[in-house]
Amino acid sequence: MYGYRTALAILGLWLAACSSGVKQEDFDAELAEAVCEKYVQCGVSHDEDSCKRNQLQGLIGQRGLTQYREDFRAGRIRYDATAASACLEKIRTSTCDVYPLHARLFTPGVGMSVDCRFLFGEVEDGEPCHGSGECGARSACTSENLFSCGTCQPRRAEGMTSASPSLCEEGLVYSQSICRKPLAEGESCADSGASGHVPCEQGLICDLDTQRCRRPTAQGEACESWWSGCHWTLTCIDGTCQPPRGEGAGCTSEPRNTSPVLDLSQCQQELFCDAEPGAPGKCRELLDEGASCRDFQECDRSLYCDGYDPSSAQRGTCRRLAGQDEDCTERLCGNLLHCSETSHTCQPRRQFGEPCADEPKACVLGTTCAQGTCGGSDSSCHP
């Protein structure tokens, strides 16, 4: 009997440990891992480890839980570790029909949607707020954007007018300044462009040409370019939506692109088409430090192509982005860092609500330094 009770006690402790959830400081890394597992499974990414590094240096690194650091410190947002684990599991077990970072899951802010809620606002209705994440689940912040001051107010019901998508009740969308049910296939989504919000039912996209909700273009169906609305696991190659090419597969290099946001490659993520613009080539892994490069897309994401000139076809060299405390007078800083105007070294970007009077250009993407604080007006919202 003693052994039986001991075994039960041990089992109980093990179950408690398993259900304790993911720690707040580990969430961004766990999210990157879950997303990249799905990217590799669905044929979008070439390598899971490289994908994870890129996510933590890019979207997830900049738009994960780090952005709420000041809210956590001040007690305006509460983190639920068990709910966070459930959210990650939902991503891991989803099919390739569902984009892991789809708008319904993350448009309100990571951890704040009805599909994936693990952040809970602690600010009462009528109290000042900077963003809807600070308010209760059935309330939203009336601020015009995430970084201006407003008050927490109940969300708008179906048929009510609204100033922004964030003010509509969960499950409703914002279309023509009214909170309404998501638009069905074939309905007009003409006014969605200004806000960047897609008011269509989940699984549909807003066609840029017809301005109507439709299903993504399937494999083998016709497309004109990368913006033609292929399914998220496909890309437009030779006039049809096709899976991105794997390592060693043939490809045609797209015209050189000077934007770090747009990736026009026919190859899987973490690969590039090794060829001159418009010429046939092969998909290969991104280049290491010191390699000759045609543009930034050919270098590993921890590197940049120094000295290339797309107008003259002058090649550059893949160089390492400067890390924290390293000199940045002749090198670019890593994605989550800025080049300090005082020390001329790379330093972490300041998050929303953090002081910036000494470094006005240090604020994280999407915020500006106002009244000595990233985002500004902090004292009027939270004395």
pLDDT the model gives residue 7: 44
Cα–Cα distances in angstroms (integers) from residue 266 to residues 53, 219, 302, 370, in the given order: 21, 14, 21, 42
Residue 140 lies in a domain: no
Domain count, the chain: 3
Least confident window among 36-40, 298-302, 323-327, 377-381:
377-381
Residue 160 lies in a domain: no
Residue 145 lies in a domain: no
pLDDT in tens, 139-159: 988 865 555 678 899 999 999
CB of 212 within 8 A of CB of 219?
no
Residue 227 lies in a domain: no
Residue where the block lists tokens 């279309």: 175
Of residues 209 and 102, more confidently modeled = 209
pLDDT in tens, 164-219: 777 888 888 887 888 999 989 999 888 654 444 668 888 888 888 888 999 999 99
Residue 197 lies in a domain: no
What's the mean pLDDT when you consider all of the chain? 84
pLDDT the model gives residue 337: 92
What average pLDDT does range 285-305 have in this prediction? 93
Residue 158 lies in a domain: no
Residues 99 and 28 in one domain: yes
pTM of the predicted structure, to 2 decimals: 0.81
pLDDT the model gives residue 284: 96
**What is the C-alpha separation between 94 and 38, in angstroms, rounded?**
8
**What is the C-alpha separation between 168 and 158, in angstroms, rounded?**
8
Q: How many residues does the chain have?
A: 383
Neighbour-count burial of 383, counting CB atoms closer than 10 A to its CB (0-12 exposed, 13-18 middle, 19+ buried): exposed
- Give the DSSP H/E element, type plus range, for residue 354: none
Residues 101 and 36 in one domain: yes
Cα–Cα distances in angstroms (integers) from residue 166 to residues 147, 196, 293, 297, in the given order: 13, 12, 43, 35
Residues 291 and 353 in one domain: no
pLDDT the model gives residue 376: 54
Residue 271 has pLDDT above 50, yes or no: yes
CB atoms within 10 A of CB 132: 25
Question: Pick from 122, 137, 153: which residue ends a domain?
Answer: 122
Residues 342 and 271 in one domain: no
SS3 231: coil
Range of the domain at 107: 24-122
Residue 258 lies in a domain: yes
Residue 66 lies in a domain: yes
CB atoms within 10 A of CB 268: 23
Question: Pick from 296, 320, 344: which residue ends a domain?
Answer: 320
DSSP 227: T
The token pair that represents 194 in the structure block: 């200004």
pLDDT the model gives residue 106: 66
Question: Pick from 288, 320, 352: which residue ends a domain?
Answer: 320
